[in-house]
């Protein structure tokens, strides 16, 4: 077996597998996000309606307080009527009472209007809650498969990520640095097999001399003259060539 090239191949294979799972996980996340957008929209509407409802409740409390003040004022004015001594006092008391009753009337009308608005809001909320339940059920049905796949991808990543780190430590320091530099600059597969006489990273057809050199010494590796990826000659390719 190829002793020195094998850790490189193992690393490249593990990394490729890991990347596939990372890609699939982020894809699944996007799909789940899209599916949850309807549910989230309903939740947002419910939040908004609840805020409106709270504002109405506060307003109603305020109105009730003012109604109480007017009622107290009216009963106080009524209590004072028997003590009235002259025309002037009577006229003043009458004016105050009329004013207070008018205010009370306006306040009570406002409270009635608020109650009607509150009832409407309650109905809205009830309907939205039904919709939320429906969309939540739908979401669960739609995404149960996706969530299972996502869980599987996460498990695979949890296995492959530490394996990758282990394998990376096994390869020579200079190749390690090259590998990390490549991945930092966006080349996700810095170690590639020769497939169909080409670099499987950039797909450039390779010179026969380079292929022959690697074929005759399968334990060695060379850089692709085009993309600089590390090339190795896979055992399976040898079989197809010969």
Q: With left for phi above 0 and alpha for psi between -120 and 50, is residue 224 left, alpha or beta?
A: beta
Contacts with Zn ion by CB under 5 A: the residue count is: 7
Task: Pick between residue 70 and residue 189 the one whose CB is nearest to Zn ion.
Answer: 189
DSSP state of 219: T
Q: Please name the helix (run of DSSP H) or strand (run of DSSP E) that holds residue 30, with its range, or none.
A: helix 6-80
In the complex, least distance from residue 205 CB atom to Zn ion, rounded to whole angstroms: 10
Beta-carbon contacts of residue 44 (< 8 Å; ≥ 6 apart): none
- Please report the DSSP string for 56-80 in residue order: HHHHHHHHHHHHHHHHHHHHHHHHH
Task: Pick between residue 16 and residue 131 the one whose CB is nearest to Zn ion.
Answer: 16
Task: Pick between residue 164 and residue 229 the one whose CB is nearest to Zn ion.
Answer: 229
Task: Pick between residue 77 and residue 224 the one whose CB is nearest to Zn ion.
Answer: 224
In the complex, least distance from residue 39 CB atom to Zn ion, rounded to whole angstroms: 46
Task: Pick between residue 66 and residue 198 the one whose CB is nearest to Zn ion.
Answer: 198
From residue 145 to residue 184, what is the string marking binding to Zn ion with x (rule CB under 5 A)? ----------------------------------------
Pairing of strands 230-232, 222-223: antiparallel
Length of the chain: 242
Q: Report how far Cα 179 is from the mean position of its chain's Cα atoms.
A: 32
In the complex, least distance from residue 210 CB atom to Zn ion, rounded to whole angstroms: 11
In the complex, least distance from residue 228 CB atom to Zn ion, rounded to whole angstroms: 7
User: Where in 179-238 is the site for Zn ion (CB under 5 A)?
Assistant: 199, 201-202, 224, 226-227, 229
Task: Pick between residue 160 and residue 192 the one whose CB is nearest to Zn ion.
Answer: 192
In the complex, least distance from residue 45 CB atom to Zn ion, rounded to whole angstroms: 53
* Closest listed residue to residue 199, CA positions, set 241, 180, 227, 220: 227
In the complex, least distance from residue 34 CB atom to Zn ion, rounded to whole angstroms: 36
Cβ atoms of 199 and 226 within 8 Å: the answer is yes
Beta-carbon contacts of residue 199 (< 8 Å; ≥ 6 apart): 192, 206, 224, 226, 227, 229, 231
Residues that bind Zn ion (CB under 5 A): 199, 201-202, 224, 226-227, 229
């Amino acid at each position: 077996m190829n002793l020195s090239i094998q850790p490189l191949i193992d690393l490249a294979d593990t990394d490729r597998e890991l990347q596939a799972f990372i890609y699939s996980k982020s894809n699944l996340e996007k799909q789940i996000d899209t599916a949850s957008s309807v549910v989230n929209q309903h939740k947002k509407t419910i939040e908004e309606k609840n805020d409106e409802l709270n504002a109405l409740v506060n307003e109603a409390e305020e109105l009730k307080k003012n109604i109480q003040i007017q009622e107290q004022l009216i009963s106080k004015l009524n209590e004072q009527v028997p003590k009235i001594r002259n025309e002037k006092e009577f006229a003043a008391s009458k004016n105050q009472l009329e004013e207070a009753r008018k205010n009370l009337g306006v306040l009570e009308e406002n409270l009635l209007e608020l109650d009607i608005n509150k009832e409407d809001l309650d109905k809205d909320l009830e309907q939205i809650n039904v919709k939320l339940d429906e969309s939540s059920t739908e979401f669960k049905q739609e995404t149960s498969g996706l969530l299972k796949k996502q869980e599987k991808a996460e498990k695979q990543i949890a296995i492959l990520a530490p394996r990758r780190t282990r394998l990376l430590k096994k390869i020579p320091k200079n190749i390690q640095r090259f590998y990390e530099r490549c991945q930092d600059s966006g080349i996700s597969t810095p170690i590639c097999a020769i497939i169909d006489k080409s670099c499987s990273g950039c797909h450039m057809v390779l010179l026969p001399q380079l292929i022959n050199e690697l074929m005759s010494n399968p334990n060695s590796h060379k850089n692709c003259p085009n993309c600089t990826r590390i090339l190795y000659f896979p055992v399976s390719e040898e079989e197809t060539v010969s």
